[in-house]
């Protein structure tokens, strides 16, 4: 697979990625390599990763606990302390080996440590391959509020090795699939149709095209002033639903993809009501979502809590929630204001 050139760094695939990483390390003469993992990627991915790395530099592994619940400042402090105790300096390199929590948090840790050290992302889940590891967003959650603390910072390179996908569950693969569906709906409907028709799906091709799309969008608008907002389609309500399930003791958490899949159905419904997005396409999206993800019954009693969390979305300005909605597939309108009643109707539509 060819490499993709992002704003200031390459995205390399498979073996070429390992060679490039070894070269990058030699050329920059890093003092120490800190590999950030969680207990799962340490067990399942690190043994595959390490023989591919050609270097004589000192390597230190830092392990954090897996899960969105640990994507917070407390975990960052633990990592900063570990790097400090292990003698990290400005010429240290952090290599993130994991899913979205590891790449988001690791990039943030690197960007703040001693005012910024280099980092390389090696995503091991579908979600982090097609979304989190590319585009320069780093950060952590504040309580259950998603990605409230963070900054834009680019890695030195991204290495995508799709063989890591054999280490993750089907539920995780489905979580990442939601982001591919998002690229399809908002930018390139062929991706949506390929998943819908589900014939001879080649995951490598879906990943490559998804990264290409994300990169095209980010190159046009790195700091999310305009077109990059389309990458938030389904995420405005989806994040609120995800946070609500994260903070509810009596509910099993949803994966990011499960939550934004619901968000996409709801936001298609709002799009139909406000922008004339065709009703048959709303149905098409809902049918596809329900064919992949089991239905989550959103309780009427929970709507108030979800609406409360919606007020913290990062796109909000002056207390007003801003949605990205669709006039059609691949045709969007940014910064749409939506009345509370319609948001609630959209959740009822998902439930129906
Ligand atoms: N995940 C959306 C973005 O990177 O802009």
Give pLDDT, residue 190. Answer: 95
Band (pLDDT 50/70/90 cuts) for residue 204 is very high
Cα–Cα distance measured from residue 183 to residue 192, given in angstroms and rounded to the nearest whole number: 8
Q: Is 131 in the pocket of ligand 1 (CB under 6 A)?
A: yes
Residue nearest to atom 4 of ligand 1 (CA): 135
State the distance from the centre of ligand 1 to the C-alpha of 248, rounded, in angstroms: 25
DSSP 8-state symbol, 278:
-
Give pLDDT, residue 144. Answer: 86
> Average pLDDT of 114-140?
98
Band (pLDDT 50/70/90 cuts) for residue 202 is very high
Give pLDDT, residue 127. Answer: 97
**To the nearest whole percent, how much of the chain has pLDDT over 90?**
94
Q: CA separation (Å) from 251 to 105, 265, 297, 299?
A: 25, 21, 11, 11
Determine the number of helices (DSSP H) and then strands (DSSP E) in the chain: 14, 11
Q: pLDDT tens digits, residue range 309-342? A: 998 877 777 778 899 999 999 999 999 999 999 9
pLDDT at 49 over 90: yes
Q: Is 100 in the pocket of ligand 1 (CB under 6 A)?
A: no
Q: Which of 332, 331, 311 is nearest to 322 (CA)?
A: 311
> Average pLDDT of 167-195?
97
Q: Which of 158, 153, 55 is nearest to 97 (CA)?
A: 158
Best substitution site from 123, 126, 135, 152 to test ligand 1's pocket, by max atoms within 8 Å of Cβ? Answer: 135
Give pLDDT, residue 316. Answer: 75
Band (pLDDT 50/70/90 cuts) for residue 73 is very high
298 token code pair: 């959103």
Let me know if 104 is exposed, middle or buried by CB neighbors in 10 A (0-12, 13-18, 19+).
buried
**To the nearest whole percent, how much of the chain has pLDDT over 70?**
100
Best substitution site from 178, 214, 233 to test ligand 1's pocket, by max atoms within 8 Å of Cβ? Answer: 214
State the distance from the centre of ligand 1 to the C-alpha of 6, rounded, in angstroms: 14
Task: Give the pairing of strands 93-98 and 32-38.
Answer: parallel
State the distance from the centre of ligand 1 to the C-alpha of 171, rounded, in angstroms: 21
Kindly report the average pLDDT of the chain as a whole number: 96
Q: Backbone phi, then psi, for 122, in 5-degree steps?
A: -125, 90
Best substitution site from 108, 228, 236 to test ligand 1's pocket, by max atoms within 8 Å of Cβ? Answer: 228
Q: Which residues pair with 122 in a beta bridge?
A: 97
Give pLDDT, residue 85. Answer: 98
State the distance from the centre of ligand 1 to the C-alpha of 56, rounded, in angstroms: 35
Phi-psi region of 96 (alpha: psi -120 to 50; beta: other; left: phi over 0): beta
Q: DSSP assignment of 109-167, as one string?
A: HHHHGGG--EEEEEE-SHHIIIIITSSSEEEEEETTEEEEEEEE---SEEEE-GGGGGG
Band (pLDDT 50/70/90 cuts) for residue 101 is very high
Cα–Cα distance measured from residue 339 to residue 346, given in angstroms and rounded to the nearest whole number: 11
Cα–Cα distance measured from residue 191 to residue 184, given in angstroms and rounded to the nearest whole number: 5
Give pLDDT, residue 350. Answer: 97
pLDDT at 200 over 80: no
pLDDT at 81 over 90: yes
Q: Is 228 in the pocket of ligand 1 (CB under 6 A)?
A: yes
Q: pLDDT tens digits, residue range 12-38? A: 999 999 999 999 999 999 999 999 999
Q: pLDDT tens digits, residue range 281-316? A: 999 999 999 999 999 999 999 999 999 999 887 777
pTM given for the model: 0.95
Give pLDDT, residue 314. Answer: 74
154 token code pair: 């680019």
The full set of domains in the chain, from first to last, is 4-167 (3.40.50.1970), 170-200+222-351 (1.20.1090.10)
């Amino acid at each position: 697979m060819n490499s993709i050139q992002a704003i200031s760094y390459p995205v390399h695939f498979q073996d070429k990625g390992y060679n490039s990483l070894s070269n990058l390390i030699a050329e920059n003469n890093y003092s120490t390599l800190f590999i950030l993992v969680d207990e799962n990627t340490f067990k399942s991915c690190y043994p595959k990763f390490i023989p591919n790395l050609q270097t004589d530099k000192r390597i230190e592994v830092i392990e954090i606990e897996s899960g969105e619940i640990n994507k917070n400042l407390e975990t960052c402090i633990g990592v900063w302390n570990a790097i400090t105790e292990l003698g990290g300096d400005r010429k240290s390199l952090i290599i993130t080996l994991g899913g979205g929590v590891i790449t988001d948090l690791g990039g943030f840790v690197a960007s703040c440590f001693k005012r910024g050290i280099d980092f390389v992302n090696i995503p091991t889940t579908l979600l982090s391959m097609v979304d989190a590891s590319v585009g320069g967003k780093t950060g952590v959650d504040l309580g259950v509020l998603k990605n409230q603390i963070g900054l834009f910072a680019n890695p030195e390179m991204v290495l995508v090795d799709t063989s890591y996908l054999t280490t993750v569950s089907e539920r995780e693969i489905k979580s990442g699939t939601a982001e591919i569906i998002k690229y399809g709906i908002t930018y390139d409907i062929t991706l949506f149709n390929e998943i819908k028709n589900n014939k001879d799906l080649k995951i490598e091709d879906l990943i490559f095209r998804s990264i290409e799309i994300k990169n095209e969008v980010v190159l046009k608008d790195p700091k999310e002033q305009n077109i990059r907002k389309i990458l938030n389609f389904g995420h405005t309500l989806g994040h609120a639903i995800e946070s609500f399930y994260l903070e509810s003791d009596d509910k099993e958490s949803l994966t990011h993809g499960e939550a934004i899949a619901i968000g996409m159905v709801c936001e298609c419904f709002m799009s139909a009501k406000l922008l004339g997005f065709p009703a048959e396409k709303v149905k098409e999206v809902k049918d596809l979502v329900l064919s992949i993800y089991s239905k989550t019954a959103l309780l009427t009693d929970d709507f108030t809590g979800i609406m409360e969390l919606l007020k913290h979305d990062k796109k909000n300005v002056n207390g007003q929630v801003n949605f990205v909605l669709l006039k059609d597939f691949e045709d969007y309108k940014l910064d749409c204001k939506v009345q509370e009643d319609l948001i609630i109707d959209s959740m009822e539509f998902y439930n129906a």
